[in-house]
Structure 1
Amino acid sequence: MRRFLHAHAGHAAWDQAARQVLAQLQAQMARQPGRDWPLGLLYATDHHAAHLPELLERLAGALPQVTDWAGAVGVAIGAGATEYFDEPGLAVMLCDLAPQRYRVFNGVAPLPPAQGPEGFVAQTALVHADPSVPDLPELIEELAGRTLGHYVFGGLVASRAGSLQIARSSRGGLAGQGRTAAEGIFHGGLSGVAFAPDVGIVARVTQGVRAVTPLRRVTAAQGHRVEALDGRPALDVVLEDLGLAGRDLAAVVARLRTVLVGWVVPSPAPPPAAAAPGRVPLRLGEDVLVRHLVGLDPAQRALVVAEPLPVGAGWTLCERHAQAARADLLRIGAEIREALAGEADEPLDPASRVAGAIYISCNGRGGPHFGAPSAEWQLLRQALGDVPAIGFFAAGEIAHHRLYGYTGVLTVFVSDGAGSG
């Protein structure tokens, strides 16, 4: 696995965008003769959704060495150091992966449990998911359970075109599933690419929020209703932590609309000292899941969260914060570079060991949140280096076996071949 190829274009006409992307890719291929790139990843904004079948056929016809395709359509995508946010955009990455090292899957040809056909075993998987699928968190966890690493990454695909996904496999058509499915285009469900154990990856989750209240414990809850924190009525604890007077209900509601709930899955292990109850965490880790606070019950002194919280979960209120998001993105880039440098047999630039990267960010982030057009992806390049990178902005981010929000999920493929630059 050597350096991937990638290209992107922002032309409003789908055929012109495809022509520009193909010209970039073919120029890169000409400089590296004798190599194959069987797997193609394709992300497009919904400005091109109506022509997705023609777009995919144009790319596949011009790149016959690419036998498998996966991807999605979103309201925004990214590539290199550029974001296409609510504007025409197309990005393609060609992966130097032998066919036995990956499998494309979808709703009618799902990822098999444990060991699949021809002895394929999945270590991890890139997942594109429809946010309207029932019991989605459970499905993500079940899919992660089909991998040896119990780890998947990706995002919820949402746009004005719905959840439009690409999953075309060279392992045969899908007879009887309709024209678009036979072409490898799906509306809804889950799809993606699974990777074998010998495909090296380094992954990190970056939070886009900061804590504004101390860490508490959920001590009484029923479904979405959180009734007690640290043994006291939940609403009373929150009002105290935020310095609010309960008499002014309008002011309470206005303030609560500006915050989110960060919660931590209960663990039998004791919490680390830095996250002791009553202390505001300096940084929210990957174990923190961010959800909306959707209501309160003044009579019962309870709060209502968008997702059921179990008794024993950690609890902190947080808010979106651009500077915290910038610092955390730089942090994960530094961590990945340090990890790659530590694995090398001799000193070299860690970026030279990156075959390619996939970055899935929340559609509430991007340039609009970071303060300037393409600011988030420019910061990603600063953090990681000038490496091939593509991705999309999601309605929810997937990492490990969980569904996140307001985060960025960065996955780096580690080169294992000579001449990776």
Structure 2
Amino acid sequence: MKLFPYAHATHPQWRMAAALVLAQLRAQMALPAYAATPSLGLLYITDHYATQAQAILDHLSAELPEITDWSGTVGVGIAANNVEYFDEPALAVMLCDLSPDQYRVFSGVAPLPASGSEPSGFVAHTALLHADPGAHDLGELVAEVADRTQSGYVFGGLVGSRSASVQFAASSAGHLRGQGAVGGVFSGGISGVAFGPEVELISRVTQGAQPIDRERTITAVEGNLVLELDGEPALDVLLRELGVSLAQPQQAMERLRRTLVGLTLPQHLLADAPAQRHARGQFGPEVMVRHIIGLDPARHGVAVAEHPPLGARLAFCERHMQAARADLIRVCSEIREELEPETLGMGSSMVAADPEPVAARHIVGALYVSCSGRGGLHFGAPSAELQIVRRALGDVPLVGFFAGGEIAHQQLYGYTGVLTVFTAPAV
């Protein structure tokens, strides 16, 4: 498998941006290190182009007839290797060199069937998701798609747009009979690409918030109103941890606006997770960060943008640039370590005379979905977030978008980044 051709450009007129992207793609496809005949395209546009989404897809499809399948969406910003385009008209494309029998584009008019139930025998192992944040029962939709994959692992993000919320999903397999003409641009619901077991990828979640104090167990809750933490009134715990008082409302509200909650559901609790987080002062991927949406002084409760169950763990937290940078470097390092060649048995006291080497792999393409709340200057400078990824992973093909929420491990996240790399055996 060769490198995935990719390109990105910004211009007030989408046709000019598309022309620049097409020129880059064609130049790369002529190079021996890059794939010459890819068939799957990932397309991400900023919301400045959202109303021209159908025209953009039609134009790219006509100019790249060898690309039979398309997937993607819109964000307030998009990402590419070493650069982000935030709040400006731009588009990014990556052409994936995958065997057509190892992926399926799906959408609301061509849903992903249960793994292994397709007449063709295609087995969905993982899936990239693009979802509308206004979709009804979104969490259940994500879980349903995950259940239709062999591994149960899905990744991606929610549409982030201040205008039209659109998704791209054009498949050579067509769509369901009776759905009429479909141009490959959708609004609402969920779409994406399912990948077969032969598509090797590594995916990691990086958090952008840092706990203020220790985790506590939710011991009383009504809907989204957390009433008690470890048997103590939740509001009292919050005010004490922040060092503020409602008797001084202006000071208290200023601090409360910067405060979030990190939730860990009972089914995601890990025995060693608290110790690991305490050691590095950061959340793990099992934690979902949510907003505080209100206080109930009469009941001493804290309302959060989630419906946590009894027994869930909660830690008050805040966005933290240095913690976000450190955690992003950490997940990039973990990915690099997985790609490094190792020798079986080297840690054992009984090493074989000729230990079998584990083949090294290299990155052929990468996808980065980051929260729109992390974009721009949150990392200290324009494009700083993508430059961290570039320094850690090297000069690899990479595209992505800034989302209204991130998806990984069947969960909906906030203020995180989801980094996924496609790999192939090193030559």
Are 2:143 and 1:135 equivalent residues in the alignment?
A: no
CA contact (8 A) 1:215 1:276 kept: no
SS in 2 for 1:193: strand
Q: Distance in 2 between matches of 1:347 and 1:367?
A: 40
Q: Which runs of 5+ in 2 are unaligned?
A: 344-355
SS in 2 for 1:299: coil
Deviations 1:44-66 (A, max 9, x none): 11222232222212211221211
CA contact (8 A) 1:218 1:314 kept: yes
Q: Counterpart in 1 of 2:248?
A: 248
Selected match of 1:366 from 372, 375, 391: 375
Q: Counterpart in 2 of 1:305?
A: 304
The TM-score normalised by the length of structure 2 is 0.91
Q: Counterpart in 2 of 1:168?
A: 170
CA contact (8 A) 1:211 1:280 kept: no
Q: Counterpart in 1 of 2:325?
A: 326
Aligned-residue offset at 1:408: 0.2
AA at the equivalent of 1:200: E
Are 2:56 and 1:47 equivalent residues in the alignment?
A: no
Q: Which runs of 5+ in 1 are unaligned?
A: none
Selected match of 1:397 from 395, 402, 406: 406
CA contact (8 A) 1:114 1:121 kept: yes
AA at the equivalent of 2:45: A
Q: Distance in 1 between matches of 2:294 and 2:394?
A: 43
Selected match of 1:149 from 132, 148, 151: 151
Q: Distance in 1 between matches of 2:213 and 2:245?
A: 16
Aligned-residue offset at 1:267: 4.1
AA at the equivalent of 2:231: G
Map of 1:231-242 to 2, 5 A cutoff?
231-242=231-242
Q: Counterpart in 2 of 1:86?
A: 87
After superposition, the CA RMSD in angstroms is 2.3
Aligned-residue offset at 1:271: 3.4
Q: Distance in 2 between matches of 1:95 and 1:144?
A: 22
Map of 1:108-257 to 2, 5 A cutoff?
108-117=109-118, 118-173=120-175, 177=179, 179=181, 182-257=182-257
Aligned-residue offset at 1:343: 6.0
Select between 125-134 and 168-177 the one with higher mean Cα deviation. 168-177
Are 2:30 and 1:21 equivalent residues in the alignment?
A: no
CA contact (8 A) 2:341 2:357 kept: no
SS in 2 for 1:107: coil
Q: Counterpart in 2 of 1:376?
A: 385
SS in 2 for 1:370: coil
CA contact (8 A) 2:130 2:157 kept: yes
AA at the equivalent of 2:294: G
CA contact (8 A) 2:8 2:92 kept: yes
CA contact (8 A) 1:215 1:275 kept: no
CA contact (8 A) 2:39 2:66 kept: yes
The TM-score normalised by the length of structure 1 is 0.92
Q: Distance in 2 between matches of 1:287 and 1:388?
A: 28
Aligned-residue offset at 1:174: 5.6
CA contact (8 A) 1:127 1:193 kept: yes
SS in 2 for 1:183: coil
- What is the number of residues matched between the two proteins? 413
SS in 2 for 1:415: strand
Q: Counterpart in 2 of 1:414?
A: 423
Q: Distance in 2 between matches of 1:284 and 1:142?
A: 26
Aligned-residue offset at 1:108: 1.1
AA at the equivalent of 2:290: R
Aligned-residue offset at 1:250: 4.3
